[in-house]
Amino acid sequence: MSQVLERLLLEDLEKWEETIKDLEERNRKLKVPTENTPETLHTFNCQINDLYTEVQYHFARARRNKDAIERIIYNVLNDLYAGKNDWARRAAGIQYAQNYPTPPGFYPDKVDLFYLEDKFKWFYYALDSIIKSLQAKAEAKITNNSLLKIDDLVSRYS
């Protein structure tokens, strides 16, 4: 378990925040074309594919980190506690998780696992939100493409 915690502690949280901010901004700037031509739709398709691929890469890492911190906290709360009754053991587990010892060589020598959980879950859910937004944009593009084809058929047979 300490190798997993060590990996999580080596994550650059500030860089993660910058990455999320950058991806959110790029997603906001990516608009479904209002002009439905093969060229605009192709350009949009390439842009959305590139961004989607990049977000998926980060999403996989975020999910791995979220799942890892959840496992660590679960184990701490359920296995690494002491107390006379369930409430005392749960309270001891929470206190221990809030001041969990870091692997040798890390500073500080204690970490709040709930703080890490909050950060990693935020990264995960932010990326999940971007993915859903990109999927909605891709669906809108498909609708626009269908309208373009219908318009073409109507103009041919008019």
Structure tokens, 59: 């999403």
pLDDT for the residue numbered 142: 65
Total count of domains within the chain: 1
In a domain, 12, yes or no: no
- Mean pLDDT, consecutive 10-residue segments, the chain of 158 residues? 91 98 98 85 93 98 98 88 80 93 93 98 99 92 63 66
The answer for 91, left when phi > 0, alpha when psi is -120 to 50, beta otherwise, is alpha
pLDDT for the residue numbered 135: 94
What angle (nearest 5°) sits at the alpha carbon of residue 94, between those of residues 90 and 99? 145
Residue range(s) defining the domain that contains residue 58: 2-6+37-156
Largest alpha-carbon pair distance within the chain? 84
In a domain, 141, yes or no: yes
Query: pTM of the entire structure?
Result: 0.85
In a domain, 29, yes or no: no
In a domain, 26, yes or no: no
